[in-house]
């Protein structure tokens, strides 16, 4: 039979081992602190329905609570398997009831608490009892973002729930990528019908790459660890190198479907240049915008015309030689500027990539040109060691991609990315620094090589 005093002693020991007061335990169980006191003093026993919840809170089995206190009892033995099977169900119902009582139906958007908890349990089976707290929803880029805190007696998890209201391309990219790489935020749950993803919030444990050019401690850490970003980029590219089945899943960008499409793409860039040049020569482009100064030398306007000629001469054959054969192409990030990277605050400086809406098939150097030429380092003398390090990392996994071909691909990508900066300016985002970096990269990698 059960010895109530021994059960009380065990409950007291388990409660104290995880740092809970009688009042806090009572709050979790939605009972009075006096009831807890009666258990621990050996006057009464917990109700049978509370045993699974206590076991979850104490991170032990029901037997650990009651085994020291009884000699064989047929009724208890008969009930044990049923109680163990119902443990997960009881704790889920308890947490849902506790949280749902605090919010109105009008406030319930996104995933319900039960789905969130089960998703966390799948990722961390031994996390134990937990509660869910949601922050107030905020709108960002047309989508809804909700911060979520998962609390346990031992730790807290910070998650983000993103509800796609408009552009849901990233949702499908994440659904594809989570099967291949850990270098994105951990994905706990994706609902393609409701257009919701539940993932890690990296803000506490990682440094966002936006700090790379800031005069602060985080910026200095990023500048000292560019190689971590480049090795992670090479790893990402190598996962999908020349894998046509992956290309079919993610889909080809329209410009790579035929030479005609690629030439139309180049024609579009030429129109961007003509529009920009006309506005520049007419004085319609501001000389100062925010903290950007427009000091472009007139002769360097012609570099865009030279880039068009370079692309027309070298880019179309890429369709036949590479795209149609699937040779030395891969799946790329597509918008790989520093702000899309998170660097771990730990010494390993591991990298997570975010902003996956532009993921597509292409040249690996498209990502490198965006990352290096437009942001980190455009001058050839300083950029080449970074390129060489990336190539070294890539070559550990990828074969038959000659260095000369790699550099020629980088030149093509520089020339193409020059017009990305013009498109921004034509749309009222006067980032003259990025434009000037693109010009410098084209000058030092393409024009000086030809001279």
pLDDT tens, residue by residue, 80-136: 445 444 444 555 555 445 555 454 444 567 898 889 988 998 898 877 778 889 999
Phi and psi for 246 in degrees, rounded to 5?
-70, -35
pTM: 0.76
pLDDT digits (tens, 9 = 90+) for 330-342: 999 999 999 999 9
In the structure encoding, which two tokens stand for residue 141, read together? 């880029």
pLDDT digits (tens, 9 = 90+) for 264-285: 999 999 999 999 999 998 999 9
What percent of the chain lies above the pLDDT cut of 70?
A: 90
Fold for 4-100, please state it: 434 Repressor (Amino-terminal Domain) (1.10.260)
Query: Per-residue pLDDT for 70 more than 80?
Result: no
C-alpha 93/C-alpha 263 separation (Å) is: 60
Selected from 1.10.150.110, 3.30.56.10, 3.90.1200.10, 3.40.190.10, the CATH number assigned to the domain covering 206-450 reads 3.90.1200.10
C-alpha 208/C-alpha 340 separation (Å) is: 8
C-alpha 436/C-alpha 362 separation (Å) is: 25
List residues bridging with 157 in a β-sheet. 150
- 106-200 belongs to CATH 3.40.50: no
Give pLDDT, residue 131: 85
The burial of 158, by beta-carbon neighbours within 10 Å (0-12 exposed, 13-18 middle, 19 or more buried), is given as middle
- Nearest C-alpha neighbor of 177 from the set 334, 67, 381, 346: 334
pLDDT digits (tens, 9 = 90+) for 179-238: 999 999 999 999 999 999 999 999 999 999 988 888 899 999 999 999 999 999 999 999
**Cα first-last separation, the chain:** 95
Break the chain into its structural domains and give their ranges.
Answer: 4-100, 106-200, 206-450
- Name residues whose C-beta falls within 8 Å of residue 181's C-beta, 6 or more positions apart in sequence: 235, 236, 239
Q: Cβ of 417: how many Cβ atoms within 10 Å? A: 22
* Whether the Cβ atoms of residue 198 and residue 161 lie closer than 8 Å to each other: yes
Q: According to the per-residue pLDDT averaged within each range, which of 44-53, 169-178, 441-450 is highest?
A: 169-178
C-alpha 65/C-alpha 62 separation (Å) is: 5
Give the mean pLDDT of the chain: 87
Give pLDDT, residue 417: 95
Does residue 48 or residue 275 have the better pLDDT? 275
Give pLDDT, residue 6: 85
In the structure encoding, which two tokens stand for residue 145, read together? 């973002």
Give pLDDT, residue 89: 52
Query: Per-residue pLDDT for 446 more than 60?
Result: yes
According to the 3-state scheme, what is the secondary structure of 188-232? EEEECCCCEEEEECCCCCEEEHHHHHCCCHHHHHHHHCHHHHHHH
């Amino acid at each position: 039979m059960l010895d109530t005093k021994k059960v009380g002693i065990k409950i007291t020991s388990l409660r104290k081992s995880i740092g809970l007061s009688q009042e806090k335990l009572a709050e979790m169980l939605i009972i009075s602190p006096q009831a807890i006191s009666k258990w621990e003093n050996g006057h009464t026993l917990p109700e049978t329905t509370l045993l699974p919840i206590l076991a979850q809170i104490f991170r032990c089995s029901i037997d650990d609570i009651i085994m020291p206190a009884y000699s064989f009892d047929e009724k208890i033995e008969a009930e044990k398997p049923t109680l163990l099977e119902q443990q997960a169900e009881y704790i889920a119902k308890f947490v849902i009831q506790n949280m749902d009582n605090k919010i109105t139906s009008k406030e319930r958007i996104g995933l319900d608490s039960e789905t969130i908890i089960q998703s966390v349990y799948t990722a961390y089976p031994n996390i134990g009892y937990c509660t869910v707290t949601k922050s107030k929803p905020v709108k960002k880029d047309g989508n809804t973002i909700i911060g979520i805190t998962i609390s346990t007696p031992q730790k807290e998890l910070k998650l983000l729930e993103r509800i796609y209201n408009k552009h849901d391309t990233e949702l499908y990219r994440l659904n594809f990528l989570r099967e291949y790489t850990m270098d994105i935020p951990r994905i706990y749950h994706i609902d393609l019908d409701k257009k919701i993803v539940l993932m890690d919030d990296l803000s506490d444990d990682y440094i966002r790459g936006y700090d790379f050019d800031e005069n602060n401690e985080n910026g200095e850490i990023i500048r000292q660890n560019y190689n971590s970003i480049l090795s992670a980029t090479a790893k990402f590219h190598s996962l999908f190198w020349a894998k046509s089945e992956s290309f079919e899943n993610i889909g080809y960008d329209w410009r790579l479907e035929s030479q005609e499409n690629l030439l139309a793409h180049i024609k579009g860039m030429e129109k961007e240049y003509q529009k920009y040049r006309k506005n520049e020569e007419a004085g319609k482009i501001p000389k100062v915008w925010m903290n950007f100064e427009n000091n472009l030398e007139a002769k360097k306007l012609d570099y865009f015309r030279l880039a068009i000629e370079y692309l027309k001469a070298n880019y179309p054959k890429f369709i036949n030689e590479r795209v149609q054969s699937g040779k030395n192409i891969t799946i790329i990030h597509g918008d790989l500027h520093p702000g899309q990277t998170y660097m771990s605050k730990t010494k390993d400086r591991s990298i997570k990539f975010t902003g996956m809406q532009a993921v597509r098939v292409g040249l690996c150097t498209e990502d490198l040109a965006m990352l290096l030429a437009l942001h980190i380092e455009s001058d050839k003398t300083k950029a080449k060691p970074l390129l060489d390090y990336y190539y070294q990392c890539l070559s550990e996994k990828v074969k038959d991609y000659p260095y000369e071909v790699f550099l020629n691909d980088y030149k093509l990508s520089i020339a193409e990315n020059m017009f990305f900066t013009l498109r921004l300016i034509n749309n009222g985002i006067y980032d003259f620094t990025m434009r000037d970096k693109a010009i410098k990269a084209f000058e030092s990698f393409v024009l000086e090589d030809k001279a």
